[in-house]
Structure 1
């Protein structure tokens, strides 16, 4: 399904989903899936860490339950005005959780399961700090829907990662009624490997 919207002098095409080889653009909303786990999706909600920073928790949730994340330009740099510029591999971005308007974030607090860097959702009304900035590392010129990529934090130099071995369950204190039971811990690691490989899945895509 395709819609068109005029913003100033720019006409944007809004698509419910993109072709597999379509470059992702600033202003698009995507779901981020974890390749090695079979498609667990990046998620956050109204639950905060009980340790570490106490900020809003980010996890990878079973497929089909993930959040939409808005692709934005980096903190501290002018907003990309076109709203539909393609994202180049190696570019700095922020990902804003559409429901809470908090940004994907990491810092030196320790994650609860692995002791890696904690990954949280941070900020108010889409504004946080430089730890919200991530490099998109991918092959080719542009970040493309469905292709593998990794996210490396600009400040801490660590990679967003997860593993099916590190899931919240009764053995680590996430029992009956635990809102993240069965989710994978999202954390940031110094090591780039199979656990850091991600894909951008269906969402709302903008193009000129």
Structure 2
């Protein structure tokens, strides 16, 4: 004869793990590879092996309307000198780096951007993907951690500008892509949301990862 109390306990335990599993998949996590959408202009953060002709001469960072471009993938990893465990939710006010497909990090410094004259955003690093403190960005969000459905701001640690989009567009060889810049004010086009990608979760790492949507 089945024990009613035991059956109730089993149901409660199952419900707990289902709710817990859904809850942990609400967050953006360390080690995930994602695309970032600027919610003001509806363009995705992008980079490619095209260097700026002015300013630093480093690899350019732009924003594109294309959803499926593989050069818009960014790996979320720990900041220089910090620890960020794979699969852990990224806490609000924590410092991270964004590592692009070309092995470069999202970077800024005191150069002027080529179109609007705001602060230049580039991709920087050596062959192993290591750069310097100019690669570090603070996640500005509400609550305890970065949630997938919420927009966040990314503030550059060294220079205190916000990652944003100027609204200007480039000509050849990156025709139609928008200029990504560092903005001094948080009232501009500085809001970003996680989109398509592969999201890691701590219990999943030994088995598989949770795919948000198509890459």
Select 2:77's aligned residue among 68, 72, 89.
Answer: 72
Residue 63 of structure 1 deviates from its aligned partner by: 3.3
Alpha-carbon separation, structure 1, partners of 2:188 and 2:54: 27
The 5 Å alignment of 1:5-16 reads none
Q: Write 1 or 2 for the structure with the bigger share of helix.
A: 2
Number of residues paired by the alignment?
178
Q: Which residue of 2 aligns with 1:188?
A: 182
Select 2:104's aligned residue among 93, 102, 105.
Answer: 102
Alpha-carbon separation, structure 1, partners of 2:24 and 2:62: 25
Residue 204 of structure 1 deviates from its aligned partner by: 0.7
Whether contact under 8 Å (2:105, 2:131) holds in the other structure is yes
Unaligned runs of 5+ in 2: 1-21, 204-215
Residue 76 of structure 1 deviates from its aligned partner by: 2.4
Q: Which residue of 2 aligns with 1:7?
A: none
Unaligned runs of 5+ in 1: 1-17, 169-173
Moved over 4 A (4+): 18-21
Q: Which residue of 1 aligns with 2:18?
A: none
Alpha-carbon separation, structure 2, partners of 1:193 and 1:19: 31
Q: CA RMSD in A?
A: 1.8
Alpha-carbon separation, structure 2, partners of 1:28 and 1:202: 11
The 3-state SS of whatever aligns with 1:163 is: strand
The 5 Å alignment of 1:118-129 reads 118-124=120-126, 125-129=128-132
Q: What TM-score does the superposition give when structure 1 sets the normalisation length?
A: 0.81
Q: Which residue of 2 aligns with 1:156?
A: 159
Whether contact under 8 Å (1:20, 1:144) holds in the other structure is no
Q: Write 1 or 2 for the structure with the bigger share of strand.
A: 1
The 3-state SS of whatever aligns with 2:134 is: helix
Alpha-carbon separation, structure 2, partners of 1:110 and 1:75: 24
Name the structure, 1 or 2, with higher relative contact order (CA <8 Å, separation 6+).
Answer: 1
Alpha-carbon separation, structure 2, partners of 1:76 and 1:139: 24
Select 1:44's aligned residue among 44, 47, 54.
Answer: 47
